[in-house]
Structure 1
Amino acid sequence: MQPPPARPGPALGNLARAPHRLMFFIGASNLLLAMIWWALWLLSARWGLLTMPATSVYAGGLHAFVMQYLVLPSFIFGFLLTVFPRWMGLPELSRRQYLPVGIGLIGGQLMLLLGAVGLPWGIPVGMALSLLGWSIGLWRLLRLLLAERGRTWHARSCMAALVLGYVGLCAFIAFVAGANPLWALLGIKLGGFGLLLPIYVTVAHRMFPFFAGNAVPGYTPWRPLWWLAAFWVFIVLHLVLELSRHTAWLWLADLPLLLLSCLALWRWWPCGEMPGLLRVLFIGLAWLPVSLALYVVQSLVELLGNQTILGRGPAHALFIGLFGSLLVAMVTRVTQGHSGRPLQMNAVAWFAFVAIQLVAAMRVMAEILPDAGAWQAFSAIAWLVALSPWVARIGRIYLLPRKDGRDG
C-alpha cells in the first residue's frame, strides 16, 4: 500500500492566492507589531523598565494612527477587495491589483515603527508608503464601484467611510509634515467615527442577518436601508460636534446612535440556539450600545458639570470591545470558510474572543482606577496574550493551500 501524499507545507506564495489571504496576514502581523511597540512604550512610561527613544510624533498619536489607518484597515481592505466584486457581480481582482495595497500597508507600518524606535527617516517614509497603499486600495475599489451597473448601497456606504478615512489619513500626514496640530486631531477623529465605525456597522447590517438566516431556522432577516442612512446622519453629527469641540453636546448624536444600535441588536439577535461562530458576532456587536452609552454619559456629565469622568474609556470600549471582538469573530469566520475548514469556533478563537472581552473591560476601567498608567500597560500586555495564539494560527493557515484543494 502506498503512503498518502504529503500535504504541502507553508509557503509565502500562498499569500497571493486571494486578497483576504494577503491582507489578513499583513493585518495579523501589523496587529502584533503595533501592540508590542505600544506595550513597551507604556511599560517605559510607567516604570522606566527600558528606555524608548523620543519620537518626532507623540507616541499616543502615533499609536492611534497605526491602529486606525494600518492595523484594522489591513483587514478591511482584505475583506472589501474580496467582497466588492461578489456584491456587484464583477470579476475578481488579480494579484497585481491588490499586491501593491498590501506592500504599502505593511511597509508603511514597519517604517513607522522603526521610526518610533529611532530610525531618523522611518516616520516620513512610513507615512509615504501608507499613503501609497491606501491610494491604490481606494482606487481599486472605486473602479469596481464605477463599473457596477446597479447600486449596491452597502458598497457605497463603505466607500464613503473609506473616503473620510483617506481625508483623515492625509490630515495626519499633513500634521507630521509640519501643519497645525489640529490636523492631527482631525485625522484621529475621522479614523474612529468616520472610517472604522461606519464600515463595521455597514458590514454588520449586510452580513449579520444573512449569516443568521443561513444558520437559524425560521430567522427573518431585517436590513432596512433607512436604518443605515439614519446611522450615517448621526455619525456625521457626532463628527461635526467633536471637531468643533462641542463635546458637551455629543449626546445629541450619540443618544440617537445608541437607540438605533439597540434596535438593530434586538431585531438581529436570533432567538433560540445558534452556533458559536454566529453567537460571537452578536456578543461582539453588543459592545456598540455599551460604548455609545458611555459616550452619552460622558457628554451629559460634561454638560452638567463641565468635567470629563471617563477619559478615553468610551473610545476604548468602541475600539477594543466592538472592533476587537468583531475582528476576531469575522476574521475567524472568513479564515475557516475560505480555507476549506468547518465553519466553527476553535479553541484558540474562543480563547481570543473571551480574553478580548476582559481586555476591553480592563482598558475602560483603567480610566477611573488609581494608577491609570499601570492599568493601561497591563491592558496592552493582556491584548498580546489574548491575540498572539490566534494570530499565529490564522497566519499559518494563510501560508497553506486550502484544505479542500480548491483555489483561493
Structure 2
Amino acid sequence: MPHRLGFSAAALVLACACLWWLAWLLARAAGLAWPWAVPPGLAHGLLFGFGFMPLFFAGFLFTAGPKWLRVAPLPARALRVPVGLQTLGWLVFMPGVHGHAWLAAFGIALAALAWLRLVGRLAGLLRRSAAPGRVHLRLIAAASWLGGALQLAAAAALAAGRDDIARAVLQLGLWGFVAPVFVTALHRMLPVFDDDVAPRLAARAPHWLLATLLALCLLQGLFALAEPWPALRIGVDGAAALLLLALAARWLRLQGGARLRLIVMLQAGIVWLAAAFALAALGLPRAAQHAFAAGFLATMMMAMVTRVASGQAGRSIAADGPAWALFVVLQAAALLRVAAALAGEPSLVLVLAAVLFALAMLGWAARLWAWQRPRRGG
C-alpha cells in the first residue's frame, strides 16, 4: 500500500537524520572535530527540509489523492523504484557532506529525479480525474514540481561550490514547496476556515483564505532572498501572525474547546506558524526559522501523518496516549530550539533540544514502522 511504502521510507530517513545531527552536536560539545565538505548548517537544512518530507508527502498523496480525485489508486509496486531511489539519495547525501560535496550533490540529484518521477505519477492521476474541486491537488502538484526543480538547483549549487546559492534555494524550497503542500492539504482536509470568517468574500471567492496563506508563504521565500524594507516586513508578517492566531482561536471555538487531541495538535501547528511570522516581524530571523521548521513543519507532519497512518492501520483513535506524549516532547524540543536562537544558541540548550527532538521523532518513527507492518491476511 502506498502509505506503508512512503511512510516507512520517510521514517527511516528521519531516524537517520535525527541520530546524525544529534551525534554532531554531541561531538562538537565534546570538542571533537568532524570533517565537513558542506557547511553543517546548510547540510542540516537540506536534509531536514528536503529529505524525509517529500517521502511523507508521497505516502499521503498516493493514499488520499485518489480518493479526492475519485480515480483508481496506483499500486505500491508502481512507486517502489522512485521511493527507493529517493531514500537512497538521502542516505548517500549524509556521508557525502563529510566526504565530498560532489557526492552530496549526487545524492540530492538522485532524490530530486526520483521525486519528480513521483510528481509525474500524481499528474497522471490528475489527468485521469473528472472530479470537481481538484484545485488543492493541482496546487500541491505545482508546488511539488517546483520542489523537484529546486532540489536539482541545490545539487548544482553544491557541485559548483556555491553554498550561498544553495542556501537561497533551500529557503525557496521551504516556503515555496514544503509549506504550501502542508497549508493546501490542511485547507482541503479541514475546511472550517472559510465559512464565517468573511461570508460575503467567501461567497465570491471560496478559496480566498487558501490563496492568502499561499501568497504569505511565497512572500517569505522572496523575503529570504532579498531583505525588504523593514516597514513592509513588519506589516506583512505582523498581519500574517494576527490572521493565523485569529484562525486558530476560531477553530478552537468551532470545535467546542480542546477536547480532541488531534485537533489540538493541528491547532498547535497553526500557532507555531503564527509565531514564526511574529518573530520575523520582530526582526528575529533565526528564531523565526526554527519556529517555522521545528515548530510548524514538524508538528503538522506528526499530526497529519499520524492521522493517516492510524486510520489506514484500522485504529479509531489517532492521537492515543503514546502519540500525545511524543507530541508533548516535540513541543518542548521546538520551544527549546527557539529559545536557543533567542539566547545566542548556547551549546547545552542546543544539545538538549536535539535530544528531545530525536526522542520524539525516533519514538514516532518506531510507531509508524509498527503500524505499517502488513496485518495477517492484509
State if a TM-score over 0.5 links the two structures. yes
Query: CA distance change for structure 1 residues 224 and 255 in 2, over 3 Å: closer, same or farther?
Result: farther
Contact 2:6 2:59 survives alignment (8 Å): yes
> CA–CA distance in 1 between the matches of 2:149 and 2:239?
26
Equivalent residues, number: 366
Counterpart amino acid of residue 35 in structure 1:
C
Partner residue in 1 for 2:267 = 282
- Deviation, structure 1 residue 77: 1.6
Deviates more, 1:243-252 or 1:137-146: 243-252
Q: Residues 136-215 of structure 1 correspond to what in structure 2 (within 5 A)?
A: 136-149=117-130, 150-178=132-160, 180-209=162-191
Listed one character per residue, the Cα deviations across residues 307-355 of structure 1 (whole Å, up to 9, x for unaligned) are xxx3511111111111111222222211211011222422221111001
> CA–CA distance in 2 between the matches of 1:258 and 1:361?
18
The correspondence for 2:81, drawn from 100, 109, 133, is 100
Moved over 3 A (4+): 116-122, 179-182, 221-224
Q: Residues 204-283 of structure 1 correspond to what in structure 2 (within 5 A)?
A: 204-209=186-191, 224-246=206-228, 248=230, 249-269=232-252, 270-272=255-257, 274-283=259-268
Deviates more, 1:112-121 or 1:128-137: 112-121
> CA–CA distance in 1 between the matches of 2:358 and 2:264?
24
Contact 1:90 1:148 survives alignment (8 Å): yes
Q: Residues 47-86 of structure 1 correspond to what in structure 2 (within 5 A)?
A: 47-48=30-31, 50-52=32-34, 54-86=35-67
Counterpart amino acid of residue 262 in structure 1:
L
SS of 1:366's equivalent in the other structure is: helix
The correspondence for 2:307, drawn from 327, 333, 337, is 333
What stretches of structure 1 of length at least 5 have no aligned partner?
1-17, 214-220, 299-309
Contact 1:108 1:126 survives alignment (8 Å): yes
> CA–CA distance in 1 between the matches of 2:219 and 2:51?
26
- Deviation, structure 1 residue 366: 0.3
SS of 1:367's equivalent in the other structure is: helix
Matched, 1:291 2:276: yes
Counterpart amino acid of residue 176 in structure 1:
L
> CA–CA distance in 2 between the matches of 1:371 and 1:343?
38
- Deviation, structure 1 residue 256: 3.4
Deviates more, 1:199-208 or 1:175-184: 175-184
SS of 1:245's equivalent in the other structure is: coil
Listed one character per residue, the Cα deviations across residues 37-74 of structure 1 (whole Å, up to 9, x for unaligned) are 111222223332x442x232112111111111111121
- Deviation, structure 1 residue 104: 1.9
The correspondence for 1:400, drawn from 365, 374, 377, is 374
- Deviation, structure 1 residue 179: 5.7
> CA–CA distance in 1 between the matches of 2:8 and 2:242?
36
Query: CA distance change for structure 1 residues 237 and 394 in 2, over 3 Å: closer, same or farther?
Result: closer
Counterpart amino acid of residue 72 in structure 1:
M
The correspondence for 1:322, drawn from 292, 296, 299, is 296
Partner residue in 1 for 2:198 = none
> CA–CA distance in 1 between the matches of 2:343 and 2:242?
29
- Deviation, structure 1 residue 235: 2.5
Counterpart amino acid of residue 154 in structure 2:
F
Query: CA distance change for structure 1 residues 280 and 178 in 2, over 3 Å: closer, same or farther?
Result: same
Q: Residues 346-361 of structure 1 correspond to what in structure 2 (within 5 A)?
A: 346-361=320-335
SS of 1:254's equivalent in the other structure is: helix
Counterpart amino acid of residue 254 in structure 1:
D
- Deviation, structure 1 residue 141: 1.2
Listed one character per residue, the Cα deviations across residues 206-242 of structure 1 (whole Å, up to 9, x for unaligned) are 11347xx9xxxxxxx9994111112222323332232
Q: Residues 374-389 of structure 1 correspond to what in structure 2 (within 5 A)?
A: 374-389=348-363
Counterpart amino acid of residue 6 in structure 2:
M
- Deviation, structure 1 residue 152: 0.9
- Deviation, structure 1 residue 290: 1.6
Identity of aligned pairs, percent? 30
> CA–CA distance in 2 between the matches of 1:241 and 1:323?
19
Counterpart amino acid of residue 188 in structure 2:
R
- Deviation, structure 1 residue 371: 5.4
Query: CA distance change for structure 1 residues 296 and 119 in 2, over 3 Å: closer, same or farther?
Result: closer
Counterpart amino acid of residue 280 in structure 2:
Y
> CA–CA distance in 1 between the matches of 2:358 and 2:223?
34
Contact 2:273 2:292 survives alignment (8 Å): yes
Counterpart amino acid of residue 261 in structure 1:
L
Query: CA distance change for structure 1 residues 120 and 263 in 2, over 3 Å: closer, same or farther?
Result: closer
Counterpart amino acid of residue 169 in structure 1:
Q
> CA–CA distance in 1 between the matches of 2:357 and 2:143?
27
Structure 1 or 2: more helix by fraction: 2
> CA–CA distance in 2 between the matches of 1:360 and 1:324?
9
Deviates more, 1:250-259 or 1:82-91: 250-259
The correspondence for 2:28, drawn from 45, 52, 63, is 45
Contact 1:363 1:375 survives alignment (8 Å): yes
Partner residue in 1 for 2:112 = 131
Contact 1:20 1:79 survives alignment (8 Å): yes
**TM-score (ref. length: structure 1):** 0.82
Higher Cα Rg, which structure: 1
**TM-score (ref. length: structure 2):** 0.88
Query: CA distance change for structure 1 residues 224 and 261 in 2, over 3 Å: closer, same or farther?
Result: farther
